[in-house]
């Protein structure tokens, strides 16, 4: 199974005070950290969707992972749905055939290579899977190729894959709570808590 990694990193991070892709955790931009996790999980190809401050973020991506492809979502300000549509559109337009897409959010720095690899291992063209934390669903989300068009059609505003996945009973949970944390980083206070957790861990 060939699994593409799709990193959503387009948001302006208004509550954070700047684009989350460029926010630093322990001196490392979140987009760099996420790409390092995808590489460590041997996920390829890797695509990054940018939007806010895209030129500066593109330079950071190029330095962090020269093999990663950058997609700029022109309508990124409309919300996560626009970013997801742009990313899935780039995947399906590519000459590279993939069996599934692993979607990772740039503001989930507690998800590392082991968690990503576990979820990716569940890939099938017709299947859906997602990370589970003591039974609670979270990220990353794995979309089999047969679902990409449906997910893109359902994505809107700040609703990414959630609308397509809601109410489905065929989503395979993959427990990753022993190697990852599900919390996202939306504010400076969230970031401070992550730093504390990293130091304590």
3-state secondary structure the chain: CCEEEEEECCCCCCCCCCCHHHCEECCEEHHHHHHHHHHHCCCCCEEEEEECEHHHHHHHHHHHCCCCEEEECCCHHHCHHHHHHHHHHHHHHCCCCCCEEEEEECCCCCCCHHHHHHHHCCCCCCCEEEEEECCEEEEEEEEEHHHHHHHHHHCECCECCHHHHCCCCCEEEEECCCCCCCCCCCCHHHHHHHHHHHHHC
Domain that holds residue 80: 3-200
Kindly report the average pLDDT of the chain as a whole number: 92
Torsion sign across C-alpha atoms 21, 146, 85, 56? positive
Candidates 170, 180, 184; CA nearest to 80 is 184
| Total domain count, the chain | 1
From CA 51, how far away is CA 111, in angstroms rounded? 22
What is the tens place of the pLDDT at every residue in 136-154?
Answer: 999 999 999 999 999 999 9
Strands 46-50 and 128-133: unpaired
Angle at 145 between CA 93 and CA 34, to 5 degrees: 80
**pLDDT of amino acid 200:** 44
Alpha-carbon separation of residue 107 from 118, 163, 169 (angstroms)? 20, 20, 27
**pLDDT of amino acid 15:** 82
**pLDDT of amino acid 19:** 93
Residue 195 confidence (pLDDT) above 80 = no
What is the tens place of the pLDDT at every residue in 43-96?
Answer: 999 999 999 999 999 999 999 999 999 999 988 888 889 999 999 999 988 767
Domain containing residue 148: CATH number: 3.90.550.10
């Amino acid at each position: 199974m060939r699994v593409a990694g799709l990193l959503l990193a387009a948001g302006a991070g208004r509550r954070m005070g700047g684009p989350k892709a460029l926010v630093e955790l322990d001196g490392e931009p979140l987009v760099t950290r996420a790409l390092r996790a995808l590489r460590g999980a041997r996920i390829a190809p890797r695509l990054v969707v940018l939007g806010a401050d895209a030129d500066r973020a593109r330079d950071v991506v190029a330095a962090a992972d020269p093999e990663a492809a950058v997609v700029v979502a022109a309508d990124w300000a409309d919300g996560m749905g626009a970013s997801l549509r742009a990313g899935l559109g780039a995947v399906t337009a590519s000459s590279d055939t993939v069996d599934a897409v692993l979607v990772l959010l740039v503001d989930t720095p507690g998800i590392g290579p082991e968690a990503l690899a576990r979820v990716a291992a569940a890939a099938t063209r017709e299947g859906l899977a997602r990370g589970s934390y003591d039974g609670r669903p979270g990220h990353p989300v794995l979309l089999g190729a047969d679902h990409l068009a449906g997910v893109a059609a359902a994505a809107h505003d700040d609703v990414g894959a959630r609308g397509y996945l809601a109410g489905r009973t065929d989503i395979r949970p993959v427990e990753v709570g022993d190697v990852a944390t599900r919390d996202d980083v939306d504010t400076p206070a969230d970031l401070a808590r992550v730093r504390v957790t990293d130091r304590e861990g």
